[in-house]
Amino acid sequence: MARLTNRTALVTGGSRGIGRGIAERLAAEGALVAVHYGSDDSAAKETVAAIEAAGGRAFAIRAALGVDGDVETLATALETGLREYTGEARLDILVNNAALGDTGPEGESVAGFDRLFAVNVRAPYFLIRRLLPLMGAGGRIVNIGSAVTRIALPGELVYAMSKAAVTTLSRNLANEVGPRGITVNTVNPGPTRTERTAFVFDRPEAQAMMAASQAIERVGMPADIASVVAFLASEDAGWITANTIDATGGSYLGPKSLGA
């Protein structure tokens, strides 16, 4: 796999979970990957080390999102890293993955609502605006949405609203930057086993429930989402833009049988 040789990529929230899976896959395909993270230094170092051990190239960028100056902090560090590794501040692939999940009653407070939207919507919007000058023809923007924009789940209301905004962002931005040869798409993961969700999805009863609600009868893994992102980041996807890819394995499509 070398579809992304000589390409550069930024994956926000790239040190753990789905973000790490995406970062590792893009690096395996040949891209130099900037692994953004918010606060967990050890997780970021581990991700970069894993990429390098597999023969890839990566560097870490620490920047808290949802605070004043977040985008400029991230963008400045990215430009510095890109120049160090490539000699120029050119970005080919931007994956907006970093996000907060719904926080239940706390998320329904004004402060919680604003915090979630600051990270999930404001940050990717202004990061795109800040980094677009670094992108040329063939650039790829992939925003990570969520299946909760299609599936109504308890406790996910504010999160679902924020991810719906991301989907709208992708579609409208694609029309704006299309003349520059840049594509913009959204990938919507479904139930996915990560470090944070393992305590749920590793239970036999949860696996059985997932199998019953999935067309493909298993829980998703970060690699499943990363494969879709890697395709959208490649030249093969140059004619695909303004789309939302449901990468859920067919979650909650309805009954598989009407019975006897």
The pTM (predicted TM-score) of the whole model is 0.95
Q: Are 121 and 149 in contact (CB under 8 A)?
A: no
Q: Residue 103: what pLDDT?
A: 63
User: Would residue 159 show up in a list of annotated catalytic residues for this protein?
Assistant: yes
Residue holding tokens 């985008």?
Answer: 71
Give 42-70 pLDDT, tens digit per residue.
999 999 999 999 999 999 999 999 999 99
Residue holding tokens 């890697």?
Answer: 230
Q: Residue 105: what pLDDT?
A: 65
**Dist. CA 51–CA 28, nearest whole Å:** 8
Domains of the chain with CATH codes: 8-193+222-245 (3.40.50.720)
Q: Residue 104: what pLDDT?
A: 64
Query: For residue 26, which of 47, 3, 45, 46 has the smallest C-alpha distance?
Result: 3
> Given 37, 85, 125, 159, which residue is catalytic?
159
SS3 category, 32: strand
Q: Which residues in the chain show pLDDT less than 70?
A: 1, 103-107, 259-260
Give 107-148 pLDDT, tens digit per residue.
678 999 999 999 999 999 999 999 999 999 999 999 999 999
Amino acid at 14: G
**Dist. CA 114–CA 152, nearest whole Å:** 21
- Measured over the CA atoms of residue 231, residue 121, residue 136 and residue 63, the dihedral's sign is negative
How distant, in Å, are the alpha carbons of 190, 205, 240 from that of 169?
A: 20, 37, 16
Tokens for 27, please give them. 């690096």
Q: Residue 259: what pLDDT?
A: 64
Cα-based angle 42, 47, 48 (whole degrees, multiple of 5): 100
Residue 236: burial class (beta carbons within 10 Å; 0-12, 13-18, 19+): exposed
**Dist. CA 141–CA 89, nearest whole Å:** 17
Percent of the chain at pLDDT > 90 equals: 80
